[in-house]
Amino acid sequence: MRGGGGTAPIATLADVERFEGRTAIVTGASRGIGRAIAARLVAEGARVVITARKEPALAEAAERLGGPDRVRFAPGRADDPEARAAAFGLAEAAFGPVDLLVNNTGINPAYGPALEIEEGAVRKMFEVNVLGAFGWAREAVARGMGERGGAIVNVASIAGVGASPRIAFYGVTKAALISLTQQLAVELAPRIRVNAVAPAVVRTAFARPLYEGREAEVARAYPLGRLGEPEDVAGPVAFLLSDDAAWVTGRTLVIDGGGSLPMPA
């Protein structure tokens, strides 16, 4: 549709339906970044199954995101194979085979230097943040995503790009997730693209311990002068899932308000 004088108007989100006819699963989507990603995909035409551990919050999110015609929910742990199979089964029955997968679930039960974190917490972080994402990807492949073509985006973290003493092993698991992204991108090409995003501090309940009571101080570390919002991550994830990124795979997009840019002394 064109305006007067032959110039094209700027497209709004309502005009964009990049995911019409596509089915997506977004893990960890009852709140925060996962919920924002699910909302963006729904706004662009996708049918979405969201997952998380707590059913009441998940049910509320699904209703607010569009209700059963657009969004279904599947409660369960991200590292539970039966929960993963149930989510895929629900998606297939309600909307059709899964074309898009977002591995957003992540946990960080322990803060502090790496050597001070108990081994049990370390194991749990790896089980959820790395093996969980691996399990979701493997389930997608087993159910034929590669036969149809599809896309996977893993939500990593800026903590996985360099050292992060306050969230040491969370960062280690996210570094492993970035490496897994690269490995799967090679193994699943050319039918499935696999990319990742690495956000810095985003204003969510999950990240609150990193900024609560000192938000202005934390924001000064970013040239754009503010913390991230969940929608700041949702847009790049939607891009990486879409055909607009058809020649992009194995990449990790840093989303940090310019915080990792080299600064003059």
| Distance of alpha carbon 125 from alpha carbon 84, whole angstroms | 18
- Nearest one of 105, 94, 119 to 23, comparing CA atoms: 94
**Cα atoms in the 13 Å half-sphere on the side-chain side of 136:** 36
Handedness of CA 182, 98, 62, 232 (dihedral sign): positive
> 């279904």: which residue's tokens?
72
74-109: string of b/e by CB count within 10 Å (b at 16+)? bbbbbbeeebbbbbbebbeeebebbbbbbbbbbbbe
Task: Yes or no: say if 29 and 51 are a contact pair by the CB < 8 Å rule.
Answer: yes
Q: How far apart (Å, rounded) are the C-alpha atoms in residues 37 and 98?
A: 16
Q: Helix, strand, or coil here: 89?
A: helix
Active site residue 170: yes
* Tokens (6 digits) for 118: 């108990």
Report yes or no: 193 and 248 within 8 Å, Cβ to Cβ. Answer: yes
Catalytic residue among 111, 170, 211, 222: 170
Q: Reduce the DSSP state of residue 118 to 3 states and report it.
A: coil
Backbone phi and psi for residue 107, each to the nearest 5 degrees, phi listed first: -130, 155
Phi, psi of 200, rounded to the nearest 5 degrees:
-85, -150
- Positions annotated as catalytic residues are 170
